[in-house]
Amino acid sequence: MAVMMGLERLVVTLKSKIRSLKTKKLYDKIEKSESMRFEIRSRKARKLIEKTLKTADSPKRLRP
């Protein structure tokens, strides 16, 4: 009985792996241009500044 359950589990695992291989869509990776890199850095910087200002303006924190 235990062998049967183990075999059944193996079959289910194999089926799901085969299904995932079939549905995987291949695509070409786009190389980032200099302007894209600049935009990503700008967004990260803006988020960091926003987070820093939010923390600094928060009245919850007591500074010694």
Quote the pLDDT of residue 24: 62
Which one is predicted more confidently, 25 or 64?
25
Which one is predicted more confidently, 61 or 30?
30
Which residues are within 8 A (CB) of 61 and not within 5 positions of it... i.e. 6 or more apart? 55
Rounded Cα distance between 8 and 6, Å, is: 5
Quote the pLDDT of residue 4: 75
Residue position matching structure tokens 């009245």:
59
Rounded Cα distance between 46 and 4, Å, is: 58
pTM here is 0.45
Quote the pLDDT of residue 46: 97
* Tens of pLDDT, residues 4-50: 778 888 899 988 888 877 766 667 778 889 999 999 999 999 999 99
